[in-house]
């Protein structure tokens, strides 16, 4: 491995979506809150999300994504240029995402946690690509596939669900609700940045806000976003973790 390779400042958290707007709808409030708490946050879109019926094209969609990232305050937004509508889990796709994990060295990765019936099948493929990339990122003796980027182990893997889907992800029992009462409006603002996707669907904003209200109510807060852990994890300070401090 080339020991002189130059790496950027690490990101603490990376959220992975299939298309621009996935992450905003799923966990935009949480990402904005993490930024406010001083963490370095990034978003990776596997595709450019194009074509779509009401978008002028990829450049317009990219500008929308950049505006949405600015609304949330995230530090990096990366687009892998995999193919929308033909996104499939495969070796090359896993390696492409794993390269980004090795480059940015996140402690936590958040991504899709289930199928989204009646919505894009790219979401399910994105989940499998993300799962595979987290594993590939930590594998040694494979430098040639990863541009000599150093091995990186992701410590925490969380699954999100789209705001308009069920709060709970079947088969995963370790759920947590993040209080986004103070960032829900920034989440809505970030979604509004996607004029090509939602100007003709104005009800989406009320639906996202209502979903956050219902999720938050389950945990006694005004607005929440729900996540599931890929596997159980231990905490060192129970009060700091669940005491709301």
Cβ neighbours of residue 166 under 8 Å, at least 6 residues apart?
none
Give CA separation, 186 vs 16, 52, 205, 219, in Å: 19, 25, 12, 21
Q: How confident is the model at residue 184 (pLDDT cuts 50, 70, 90)?
A: very high
pLDDT of 42 above 50: yes
78-93 tens-digit pLDDT:
999 999 999 999 999 9
The radius of gyration of the chain's CA atoms, rounded to the nearest angstrom, is 17
Query: Does 1 score more than 50 pLDDT?
Result: no
What are the structural domains of the chain?
13-231 (3.40.50.10320)
Side-chain-side CA neighbours of residue 105 (13 Å):
9
Query: At 235, is the pLDDT very low, low, confident or very high (cuts 50, 70, 90)?
Result: confident
**pLDDT more than 90, % of the chain:** 86
């Amino acid at each position: 491995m080339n020991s002189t390779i130059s790496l950027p400042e690490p990101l603490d958290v990376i959220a992975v979506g299939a298309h621009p707007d996935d992450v905003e709808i799923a966990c935009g409030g949480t990402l904005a809150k993490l930024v406010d708490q001083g963490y370095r946050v990034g978003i990776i879109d596997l595709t450019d999300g194009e074509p779509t019926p009401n978008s002028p094209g990829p450049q317009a969609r990219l500008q929308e994504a950049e505006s949405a990232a600015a609304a949330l305050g995230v530090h990096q937004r990366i687009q892998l240029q995999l193919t929308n509508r033909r996104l499939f889990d495969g070796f090359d796709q896993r390696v492409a995402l794993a390269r980004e994990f090795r480059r940015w060295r996140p402690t936590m990765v958040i991504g899709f946690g289930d199928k989204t019936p009646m919505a894009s099948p790219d979401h399910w493929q994105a989940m499998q690509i993300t799962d595979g990339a987290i594993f590939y990122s930590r594998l040694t003796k494979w430098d040639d596939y990863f541009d000599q980027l150093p091995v990186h182990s992701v410590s925490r893997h969380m699954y999100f669900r789209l705001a308009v889907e069920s709060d709970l992800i079947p088969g995963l029992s370790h759920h947590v609700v993040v209080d986004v009462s103070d960032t829900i409006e920034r989440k809505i603002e970030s979604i509004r940045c996607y004029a090509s996707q939602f100007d003709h669907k104005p009800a989406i904003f009320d639906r996202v806000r209502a979903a956050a209200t219902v999720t938050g109510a389950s945990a006694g807060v005004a607005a929440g976003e729900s996540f599931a852990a890929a596997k159980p994890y231990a905490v060192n300070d129970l009060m700091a973790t669940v005491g709301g401090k």
